[in-house]
Amino acid sequence: MQNPSVPALFRRIASKYDRMNRLMTLGMDIGWRRKSVKHLREMQPNRLLDLAAGTGDFALVASQELLSLREVYLVDITPEMLALAPPKKPKRSDLHWHTIVADAHQLPFEEGYFDAITVGYGVRNFSERLTALREMYRVLRTGGIALVLETGIPTHPFWKALFWTYFRLYVPLIGAVFAGDKDAYTYLPESTAAFPHRDRFLYLCREAGFSENTYIEFMGGASILYKLRKT
């Protein structure tokens, strides 16, 4: 069950969400999503779940990069975020986008329905991460891959200090100025600090059933891509 304050927060910032992402990451977030979905190319997925899809940026790059895709399901708990996604669908007649309002802790799909799953900056927001990871495992087919892209914390001491200064001072400030919501952009560094990064997250993924799990870092670990398999 999701903590109700999370959808309420995303409802407030939905219309500013994309612009804030570009401002905070200086446009690099799109490149991180694009590099991430390339890890699915080899398996040529047909049906993809983009969980916590928000305004659809991960689904957009997946649809551009993975021409094998025929069905993309964008699932999110906040209707106001999801409402901004459909115009981003690439004009491909062989591709169908389905937007569904649902909770990651209880997915409305049968077992093994998806070839692949993407979750961009979503898992951090789930109230019961192990439950949601188990749901992802359940709806993924055997041999499928789940990609979890999350905020990270750099390990190099200099970069880490710079990163926290940026994240704890600049991000809430631009959140206040450009989104009119300092609280939402204070939640971002706080939830990043509380997240179990790297091996601690992989441990949780193993508990959920995933195996052969790895991660790669973007920008010194400011963003981390976790690649999980159902074998």
Ligand X SMILES: C[S@@+](CC[C@H](N)C(=O)[O-])C[C@H]1O[C@@H](n2cnc3c(N)ncnc32)[C@H](O)[C@@H]1O
Given the rule CB under 6 A, which residues bind ligand X?
A: 2, 6-7, 10, 52-54, 57-58, 76-78, 81, 103-105, 120-122, 125-126
- CB of residue 100 vs ligand X: minimum separation in angstroms? 10
- CB of residue 126 vs ligand X: minimum separation in angstroms? 5
Query: Considering beta carbons, is residue 8 or 161 the nearer one to ligand X?
Result: 8
- CB of residue 50 vs ligand X: minimum separation in angstroms? 7
CB-nearest residue to ligand X: 54
Token output for 81: 């975020």
Q: Which of 29, 95, 23 is nearest to 57 (CA)?
A: 29
Q: Which of 93, 95, 118 is nearest to 34 (CA)?
A: 118
Query: Considering beta carbons, is residue 19 or 158 the nearer one to ligand X?
Result: 19
Query: Considering beta carbons, is residue 10 or 210 the nearer one to ligand X?
Result: 10
**Residues forming beta bridges with residue 97, ordered by sequence position:** 72
The answer to whether 68 and 46 have CB atoms below 8 angstroms apart is yes
Helix, strand, coil shares, percent, the chain, to 5:
50, 20, 30
- CB of residue 157 vs ligand X: minimum separation in angstroms? 27
Query: Considering beta carbons, is residue 121 or 218 the nearer one to ligand X?
Result: 121
In the block, tokens 């551009």 appear at 64
The answer to whether 72 and 98 have CB atoms below 8 angstroms apart is yes
Query: Considering beta carbons, is residue 131 or 211 the nearer one to ligand X?
Result: 131
- CB of residue 143 vs ligand X: minimum separation in angstroms? 24
State the CB neighbour count (10 A cutoff) for residue 170.
13
